[in-house]
Structure 1
């Protein structure tokens, strides 16, 4: 009996030790999970902060781009206007001369026209002025009339009004007279 008695407390101690060991493991597991949870919360907060910062940066970039587009629309013609100011000044000066001769007016008009052409060219506005005999191009020319002529059919006879192109886009086609088909 003494064997049974001595083994009974040992058998009873073993489950208590097992419960204590399990409780210790559970406590360690809870502590590990709480630590992992705290790390994940910190990481989540950091990612949320990064997201909000990136979102704010994207919004600021969008707003800056809108401002730049608005300014470009508003002031895009500024360079062109600056190039035309000398032309306006020349015309004002011509009108301020009370007793200008026809020769002086002619010379002033020629100089002012050169200034205007120069300002247009600096802003990529190029004249379309086809020579007589040049092939009619409906992309650049608008036929106002068709006349019989001794030159090849569908060619320009004369230019009634110059056309203009700005950076490869037609502002106005040249108004031309074209030879009739034979």
Structure 2
């Protein structure tokens, strides 16, 4: 039974993250991701996300209602849906959710390398080298997602496992590099 519970816990955590992203960045893709996960796993959806889903559905529904009642000018096309999606504030969807997922992935990679026996500096260097990111980005991700070190290996393994190629790059690296991020 525990195996069935694990995806729900992961989904619950991601819903919380997507809600926080939507709250801070007003990224509609985060709201829709949270909505999808709540429906898929039968989880409760925060009111903030419900309000966004309702806003979008009401806007599209009102156009559909007008079209159904004979308004030939009422069209639901890409441009109209785009305006509704952006909430008329010209916000493109996705960047905040992408940054949050990237940050989480970075933190998981560092933790996985540490569990594989690499020093903290080696793990950070390995992630910097393999992903082409700065130490600052890696350290910020580790601070933002410090809780990944408390996750079980079975959970982290589903997200990322270092390949032999990654391990080799880290072995070949100079862990005593100096300089900034």
Same fold? TM cut 0.5? no
Structure with more of its chain in helix, by fraction: 2
Structure with more of its chain in strand, by fraction: 1
Instruction: Give the TM-score taking structure 1 as reference length.
Output: 0.26
**Larger RCO (alpha carbons 8 Å, 6+ apart):** 2
Structure 1 or 2, whichever has the larger Rg, is 1
